[in-house]
Amino acid sequence: MTTNTPPRTFTFERTYTATLDEVWELWTTKDGFESWWGPEGFSVKVHELDARPGGLLRYDMIASAPEQVAFMKQAGMPLSTPSSLTYTELTPQRRLAYQHAVDFIPGVAPYTVSSVVELQATGGTVRMTVTIDAMHSEEWTQRTSAGWESQLRKLDKRFQR
């Protein structure tokens, strides 16, 4: 007997003093995405961003801080990695979902991870909830979770007023 168990997920929630427009643009524009995506010590260069269901976001994730450069070298990974995600759902200023290609881990067959971002405005704040599928192993799930915490600190700083 086979059962289809849904993938394990993890969730991040943040509330920002911001408008829905400000937060939405972070996810759906080149300038917005490049301004915060990637853990601290990494930057991104967007090559294509087509924010619509079926649209593609292609970018390079680039290790830029000395400790990240050293980690990537030690792990046998390149300092710049082409990455892509495909938007699967966009409800303007409310919800977006995407499939992120995981094709950058040495010795691991490529696969995709699903993510959902939900936005809710209340008063002068926006609550952002990001739910992500777990990775192929506990080690990589923990790395991904730490990476998300790191990149969300960029937004925490941005929206401190």
Residue 3 pLDDT exceeds 80: no
Spatial separation of the C-alpha atoms in residues 155 and 142, rounded to whole Å: 20
- Residue 78's nearest CA partner among 40, 57, 108, 104 is 104
- Looking at CATH, the fold of the domain delimited by 9-158 is given as Alpha-D-Glucose-1,6-Bisphosphate; Chain A, domain 4 (3.30.530)
Spatial separation of the C-alpha atoms in residues 97 and 6, rounded to whole Å: 16
Residue with tokens 């969730």: 11
Lookup: tokens for 97: 């979902």
CB 61 within 8 Å of CB 44? yes
Query: What is the model's pLDDT at position 103?
Result: 83
Per-residue pLDDT tens digits for 128-150: 999 999 988 888 889 889 999 99
Per-residue pLDDT tens digits for 31-60: 999 999 999 999 999 999 999 999 999 999
Per-residue pLDDT tens digits for 83-92: 999 999 999 9
